[in-house]
């Protein structure tokens, strides 16, 4: 017998793969929710509560989930690192069981994918990955929503990712494969995306008829791109490596010279926060091909569609 708020038929979204059967449906719902928002939308999560557990700070993740729950008729509770201290002050299992007694869903922004999965295994309510060291599925959904809005389609486009093969890159590989988009990831040899994720993504891409490629030359990767995407070179928790990483990644800066290789109407994307003069030049991120703030706004609408998919 379940004594928590969950009914035993919960759905977690820890990876983009957890949306493999309805990813495009979620994106379609996000498009509709964004349009309906201006007219006043229904409240499918009325009376429901999302518990938001943060180990890493974030401007976009907190605000988009909190505002999103409000627009859907529910509410969100922010739990800071000091309040929970998951796995230290209390075991992961105990935190999962306690939260499941109080809330209808959990959004967890974590350092470790392993802890993320442990929390999901022990919670009886849905768990949404707000970022961990392996994936960032909510960001990927917002990215695909933005590309769909600006290009009118996803299948057959060429996405080029330049820089660190990190959690964002991992999720983009899976997302691109699911929608039939070609993707090149240009990274230094020792900073390639997760090998297991790449294998899974390539299997999906083969079935979908699109191509995923790894390369070291960012200028080659940018050739004919519909989208050029980059991320910070130093993620949270890597601050001690700052000097070393900045030297190593300097050839991977997205600048006007690299952008010339892309299509004239390419989209420049960055999940933010951005560092002008490092991973991207000011002329690119502040230029006419940049859609980083549309992308940031779309975190709200993509996540509302995800919240409804798992909590409604």
Task: Give me the residues paired with residue 106 across strands.
Answer: 51, 127
Strands 227-230 and 212-215: unpaired
Residue in 133, 299, 301, 303 annotated catalytic:
299
Strands 127-129 and 105-109: parallel
Residue in 271, 295, 301, 303 annotated catalytic:
271
Residue 186 in tokens: 């240009």
Identify whether 140 is a catalytic site residue: no
Residue in 139, 158, 253, 303 annotated catalytic:
139
Identify whether 271 is a catalytic site residue: yes
Give the residue among 146, 138, 171, 155 at the shortest CA–CA distance from 306: 138
Identify whether 158 is a catalytic site residue: no
Using DSSP's 3-state secondary structure scheme, residue 89 falls into coil
Residue in 133, 143, 164, 231 annotated catalytic:
231
Residue 8: is it exposed, middle or buried by C-beta count within 10 angstroms (0-12/13-18/19+)? Answer: exposed
Distance, in Å, from the CA atom of 33 to the CA atom of 25, rounded to the nearest integer, reads 12
Q: How far is CA 227 from CA 116, 254, 274, 305, in A?
A: 30, 12, 17, 24
Distance, in Å, from the CA atom of 270 to the CA atom of 261, rounded to the nearest integer, reads 18
Q: How many CA atoms lie within 13 A of 226 on its CB side?
A: 18
Identify whether 139 is a catalytic site residue: yes
Residue in 60, 109, 117, 245 annotated catalytic:
109
Identify whether 117 is a catalytic site residue: no
The rounded Cα 176 to chain-centroid distance in angstroms is 12
Q: Is 197:174 a contact under the CB 8 Å cutoff? A: yes
Report which DSSP code applies to 193: P
Identify whether 136 is a catalytic site residue: yes
Residue in 136, 184, 245, 270 annotated catalytic:
136
Residues marked active site are found at 109, 136, 139, 231, 271, 299
């Amino acid at each position: 017998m379940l004594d928590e708020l969950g009914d035993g038929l919960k759905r977690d979204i820890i990876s983009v793969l957890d949306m493999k059967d309805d990813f495009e449906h979620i994106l379609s719902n996000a498009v509709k929710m964004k349009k309906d928002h201006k007219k006043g939308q229904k409240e499918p999560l009325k009376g429901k509560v999302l518990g938001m557990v943060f180990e890493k700070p974030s401007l976009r993740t907190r605000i988009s989930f909190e505002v999103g729950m409000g627009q859907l008729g529910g509410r969100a509770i922010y739990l800071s690192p000091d309040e929970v201290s998951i796995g230290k002050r209390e075991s992961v299992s105990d935190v999962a069981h306690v939260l499941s007694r109080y809330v209808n869903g959990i959004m967890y922004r974590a350092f470790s994918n392993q802890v993320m999965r442990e929390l999901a295994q022990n919670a009886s309510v849905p768990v949404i990955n707000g970022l961990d060291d392996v994936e960032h599925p909510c960001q990927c959904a917002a990215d695909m929503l933005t590309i769909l809005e600006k290009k009118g389609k996803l299948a057959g486009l060429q996405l080029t990712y330049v820089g660190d093969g990190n959690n964002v890159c991992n999720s983009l590989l899976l997302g691109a494969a699911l929608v039939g988009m070609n993707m090149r990831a240009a990274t230094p040899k020792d900073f390639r995306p997760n090998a297991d994720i790449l294998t899974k993504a390539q299997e999906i891409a083969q079935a979908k008829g699109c191509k995923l490629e790894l390369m070291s030359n960012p200028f080659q990767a940018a050739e004919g791109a519909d989208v050029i995407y980059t991320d910070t070179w130093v993620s949270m928790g890597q601050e001690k490596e700052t000097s070393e990483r900045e030297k190593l990644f300097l050839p991977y800066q997205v600048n006007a010279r690299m952008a010339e290789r892309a299509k004239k109407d390419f989209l420049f994307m960055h999940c933010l926060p951005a560092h002008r003069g490092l991973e991207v030049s000011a002329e690119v991120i502040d230029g006419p091909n940049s859609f980083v703030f549309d992308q940031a706004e779309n975190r709200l609408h993509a996540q509302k569609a995800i919240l409804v998919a798992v909590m409604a």
